[in-house]
Amino acid sequence: MDLLERARALAACPLFADLAPAVVIRLAERARPATLEPGERRTTDDTVWIIVAGSLVIASRAAMSAVASISTTRRHGGTATAGMVLGLIRVIAPATPALDAVAEQPSTVIGVALDDIRDVLEEDPVALSALSGALAKRLLEGTT
């Protein structure tokens, strides 16, 4: 996945849709794509994961063992699909429990280190405002 493909994938994510193209490119430059086979795991310890394709079963690490099966993880969490972002809240609240994610089908994800996202947002207050607004909107939609 080249830089423009990573940028397109990030821009397609609802949380990043209102970011200026230059900000999306800066994030894409720091992003690393991964193709996951069923059963492969990722964590939000130090990375934000954007799901490009496929689905991952997710749960808070505080709720289960790090080696839990997909069915156990599903019982304690939920499913994340294309366009969803895992771990973004840890950018501003690092004490938030990390998520464990297990691919339940072949999936493509893009990872951006928490520190890289913090750096980009600190450089651009407009980007921080846009991302905060998108996150607030998504949270409010989930409570209605």
3-class DSSP assignment, residue 106: coil
Closest CA to 20 of 35, 28, 76, 100: 28
Q: Kindly report the pTM of this predicted structure.
A: 0.84
pLDDT of residue 114 exceeding 90? yes
pLDDT of residue 127 exceeding 60? yes
| 97 vs 50, higher pLDDT | 50
pLDDT of residue 116: 95
pLDDT tens for each residue of 13-68: 999 999 999 999 999 999 999 999 999 999 999 999 999 999 999 988 665 555 55
pLDDT of residue 72: 53
Q: Is 1 in contact with 9 (CB distance < 8 Å)? A: yes
pLDDT of residue 86: 94
Range of the domain at 90: 3-143
Tell me how many domains the chain contains: 1
Longest CA span, the chain:
41
| Helical ranges in 56-124 per DSSP H | 70-76, 89-92, 114-123
pLDDT of residue 144: 38
Q: Return d(Cα 47, Cα 112) in angstroms, integer.
A: 6
- Supply the CATH number for residue 28's domain: 2.60.120.10
